Amino acid sequence: MESVVNFFNSIVSVVTSHLSTEMLIYISIAILLLILIWIITRTIRSRKANKRINDLELEVNEIRNNSLQYKFNKASAFARVNDDIMERVKNLTPKYKTCVDSVVDCETLFTEADDYLAGHRIKKAMRSMDELETVIDETKERIRIVTQSLDHILKKETEVREQANALKERYGNVKKVYNDNRSSYYSAAEYIDNALNVIEDEFSNFEEWMFASEFNKAKEEQEKISKMVDDISSKIAACPGYYEKAKVVLPRALEEVKATMKQMELEKIDLSYLEPEQKINAIENALEKTISLLDTGNFDQASDALDEIGDHILALQDDILNEKHAYDEIHGNLEETLSVVDQIEVELKEIVNLYTNIKDRFGLEDWTQRFMLANEQLTSLKKKRDSIVNLLKNDEQTSVELVHQYREYTQEVEEFHAQVKDMKQKLVGASSDESRAKKQLIKLQLILNEVRLSAMTRHYQVFLLL
């Protein structure tokens, strides 16, 4: 150590003896500048190298975290249960292994470059990074090709998975609608809850088949679930409407029928022949049974039962209203209608008397046969009238049954009355002709008298002039 110090001291002595102080200062400054430039240059290269190694680290991590191994394992499992896929996977295995080795090479080169950089061996680190970039590009291309082949093999799984995801989303929407309106399902909620639990169990079975790469069986399970979701979806959509019909709409309609019955009882209209009380009791019992069907999830049977109950209520309402309308039609103008026959009888007698007075004077045709037929028809109408009165009095027929007979009677009365009026009009017309002739004769006589008076007046005036 002492010898080294002596060596440097000797060199300094030689330099100082041959160079001036000013020159030594310049040389020292130059040496310091070279050292500074070297430090700056090395710092810049080190920073560039660090940035590059960081960028390469991201790429290596991206390659390291690829899904190649997952897809290859999936394809291998799929091949074990599908012989048609086995050969394709075998052919792809060497390429897959090459990709795995390339990934290892990338990791090795990265570690090497990182170690060189840590040891400040920047040139070697840069050379390793150049080589790493080349290997990364090659590895990415190999992974892309193998991944594309694996995606093609796993295409069926992808399709099944996408369809399953869509099915799960649809099921979730159906379940949300049900949960948001749960109170509208009454006791059927228990049945729907059980059905939803069964569907969720089937989804679990589906996932098990997918995990085992049994995609065909998973597809069958998915189709089964889809039908179950369709079924429960339609039931969830229809159930509130069924309950509303069973608990609100039909009972309200039944109450309206009862109110109509009460009103008709106050009007003394007999409905006993319709047996409305028995029918209402039967309808109420049917409604209770239908609600039980809804509670247990038998929606199809309940729907048919509700339609049938609605038909029964409408039929009973129609029967009651028909009886009321028939009653009102019969009793609305009953006295007036029944009295028309008596009015016709009076008019017929007047016609006979009038005919007797003028037939010889005007030479009218013989109406004897016509009067005989009219009397027979009048007698027939009286009998029908008495029959209707007796039926109404004894309450032997319902208004609905009697109204047809009453309408026929009314129509016959109107037609016969029109015939009698026609007969009377003819006779009155003949009498009017005679009356008009007499009036014309009197008018003519007055005119003649006026003419005579005028002539006599002129004759008298002439006589006076003479």
Q: 17-49, pLDDT tens digit by residue?
A: 665 666 666 666 766 767 766 666 666 666 676
Assigned domain for 60 exists: yes
Residue range 402-421, pLDDT digits in tens: 656 666 767 777 777 788 78
Assigned domain for 254 exists: no
3-state secondary structure (DSSP) of residue 66? coil
Q: How many structural domains is the chain composed of?
A: 2
Q: How far apart are CA 402 and CA 392, in angstroms?
A: 9
Q: How far apart are CA 373 and CA 367, in angstroms?
A: 10
Assigned domain for 425 exists: yes
pTM of the model: 0.56
Produce one character per residue of 44-69: b if its CB has 16 or more CB atoms within 10 Å, e if not. Answer: eeeeebeebbeebeebbeebeebebe
**Residue where a domain terminates, one of 117, 150, 169:** 169
Q: How far apart are CA 138 and CA 309, in angstroms?
A: 78
**Residue where a domain terminates, one of 126, 148, 169:** 169
Assigned domain for 236 exists: no
Q: How far apart are CA 74 and CA 77, in angstroms?
A: 5
**Distances 343 to 135, 208, 375, 378, 390 between C-alpha atoms, Å:** 125, 97, 13, 11, 21
User: Residue 118 sits in which domain range?
Assistant: 24-169
**Residue where a domain terminates, one of 169, 195, 229:** 169
Q: How far apart are CA 409 and CA 322, in angstroms?
A: 19
Assigned domain for 444 exists: yes
From 316, 315, 309, select the one nearest 284 (Cα to Cα): 309
pLDDT tops 70 at residue 193 = yes
Assigned domain for 343 exists: yes
Residue range 371-398, pLDDT digits in tens: 788 777 777 777 777 676 676 666 655 6
Residue range 209-238, pLDDT digits in tens: 887 777 788 888 999 999 999 999 999 999
Per-residue pLDDT at 41: 62
Assigned domain for 311 exists: no
Q: How far apart are CA 200 and CA 254, in angstroms?
A: 42
Assigned domain for 83 exists: yes
**Distances 135 to 51, 98, 100, 106, 143 between C-alpha atoms, Å:** 19, 12, 12, 6, 12
Residue range 98-155, pLDDT digits in tens: 888 888 888 888 777 777 776 667 777 777 777 878 888 888 888 888 888 877 777 7
